[in-house]
């Protein structure tokens, strides 16, 4: 078994069962949940992994607001009180906030204990739980603190999605659309064929997105180059997400990335020769899934300022990953402040 492998559905539960059987020397096993996954996901999970009887449950509050150092300290304290050590295992059962934070906690506790991700949201299945990015927010700046650290394995089971609210589902869909746009035209074509998109095709679409992500992160695990393409839509998307964070226009991650992808498709036409006709198609398809968010012109400057915190930036130059074609993406592209504002205006047109 290779570290970081992703396994699906019943095969995944079998892999996890075998893993636990073959590694009985864990000093303790901890399961990290939030109050939602404790209620909706823990019972079916335990049923599938019958071998897991002797474990300690750690429950945290759900939501991005809690993805911070205070929650992390709380989990470290609880692990300490419950006698965790380097030979313990942490199983993260939850969405992207929980798997990012649980991975960070495990990777830093006593310089590192093993962890397994069991994502329960679409966003976490297709993106957050795989590839080894772990971390927390710093104030309102997203994922500013963290380490690259691979889980032992990731178990993806779409049965958890039956209790997920529609807005959360859509949030995950944005990252799937991104995977198609940056690296897999066929995946994009399937996703934008709205009439034929149903739950029965979801499993294979999830698998395809995970395949794109794994291919990229295997080539460039620590984002020295290629992995930056996974950030298409994220330079502007993260800035918009942060700007509206504690307002009544609060956006889910994928909703902000949808905006970012439209704006950055426009920037692509300026920087990589991406066809305007394709940018318009990207905009049309994304707006069919994601209703337009009103971004008044007077907010553009503040959003622009927030792009300066993007983790891809070096020496203060704002860096983008931009489409060259549908299914192909360049990285280390730079845009001027006026061009970024024009890109937001294109989204609003």
Asked if residue 155 lies in contact with residue 234, where contact means CB atoms within 8 angstroms, the answer is: no
Distance of closest approach, residue 235 Cβ to ligand GLY, in angstroms: 12
Does residue 227 carry a catalytic annotation?
Answer: yes
Cβ proximity to ligand GLY: between 99 and 269 the closer is 99
Selected catalytic residue, list 223, 241, 255, 264: 223
The CA distance from 319 to 348, in Å, is 22
Does residue 264 carry a catalytic annotation?
Answer: no
Q: Which residue is nearest to ligand GLY (CB)?
A: 230
Neighbours of 50 (CB within 10 A): 9
Does residue 40 carry a catalytic annotation?
Answer: no
Cβ proximity to ligand GLY: between 79 and 126 the closer is 126
Does residue 179 carry a catalytic annotation?
Answer: no
Selected catalytic residue, list 142, 170, 178, 227: 227
Distance of closest approach, residue 183 Cβ to ligand GLY, in angstroms: 12
| CB proximity list for 76: less than 8 A, separation 6 or greater | 105, 108, 109
Query: Helices then strands (H, E): number in the chain?
Result: 14, 10
Selected catalytic residue, list 142, 143, 152, 175: 175
Cβ proximity to ligand GLY: between 88 and 134 the closer is 134
Does residue 15 carry a catalytic annotation?
Answer: no
Cβ proximity to ligand GLY: between 213 and 271 the closer is 213
Alpha helices in the chain (DSSP H): 9-22, 35-40, 42-48, 69-81, 96-108, 122-123, 166-183, 185-191, 199-219, 234-243, 253-271, 276-289, 300-307, 337-348
Selected catalytic residue, list 143, 231, 241, 264: 231
Cβ proximity to ligand GLY: between 17 and 313 the closer is 313
Does residue 309 carry a catalytic annotation?
Answer: no
Does residue 283 carry a catalytic annotation?
Answer: no
Does residue 190 carry a catalytic annotation?
Answer: no
Q: Which positions touch ligand GLY (CB under 6 A)?
A: 127, 131, 133, 227, 230
Distance of closest approach, residue 144 Cβ to ligand GLY, in angstroms: 14
Distance of closest approach, residue 188 Cβ to ligand GLY, in angstroms: 18
Residue 128: DSSP 8-state = I
Please identify every residue annotated as catalytic: 111, 133, 175, 213, 223, 227, 231, 234, 238, 253
């Amino acid at each position: 078994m290779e570290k970081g492998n992703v396994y699906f559905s019943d095969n995944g539960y079998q892999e996890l069962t075998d893993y636990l059987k073959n590694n009985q020397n864990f000093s303790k096993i901890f399961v990290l949940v939030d109050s939602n996954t404790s209620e909706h996901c823990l019972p079916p999970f335990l049923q599938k992994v019958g071998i897991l009887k002797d474990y300690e449950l750690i429950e945290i509050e759900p939501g991005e607001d809690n993805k911070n150092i205070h929650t992390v300290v709380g989990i470290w304290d609880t692990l300490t009180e419950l006698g965790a050590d380097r030979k313990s295992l942490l199983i993260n059962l939850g969405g992207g906030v929980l798997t990012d934070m649980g991975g960070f906690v495990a990777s830093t506790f006593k310089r590192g204990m093993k962890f397994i991700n069991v994502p329960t949201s679409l966003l976490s299945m297709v993106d957050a739980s795989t590839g080894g990015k772990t971390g927390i927010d710093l104030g309102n700046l997203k994922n500013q603190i963290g380490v690259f650290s691979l889980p032992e394995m990731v178990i993806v089971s779409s049965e958890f999605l039956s209790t997920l609210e529609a807005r959360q589902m859509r949030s995950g869909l944005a990252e799937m659309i991104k995977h198609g746009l940056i690296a897999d035209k066929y995946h994009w074509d399937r996703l934008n064929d709205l009439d034929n998109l149903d739950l029965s095709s979801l499993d294979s679409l999830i698998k395809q997105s995970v395949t794109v992500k794994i291919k990229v992160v295997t080539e460039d695990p620590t984002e020295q180059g290629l992995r930056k393409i996974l950030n298409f839509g994220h330079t502007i998307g993260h800035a918009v997400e942060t700007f509206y964070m504690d307002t009544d226009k609060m956006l889910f991650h994928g909703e902000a990335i949808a905006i970012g992808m439209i704006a950055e498709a426009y920037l692509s036409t300026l920087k990589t020769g991406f066809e305007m006709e394709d940018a318009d198609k990207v905009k049309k398809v994304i707006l069919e899934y994601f209703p337009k968010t009103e971004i008044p012109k007077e907010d553009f400057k503040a959003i622009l300022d927030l792009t300066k915190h993007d983790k891809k930036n070096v020496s203060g130059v704002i860096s983008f990953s931009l489409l060259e074609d549908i299914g192909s993406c360049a990285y280390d592209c730079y845009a001027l402040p006026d061009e970024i504002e024009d890109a937001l205006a294109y989204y609003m047109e």
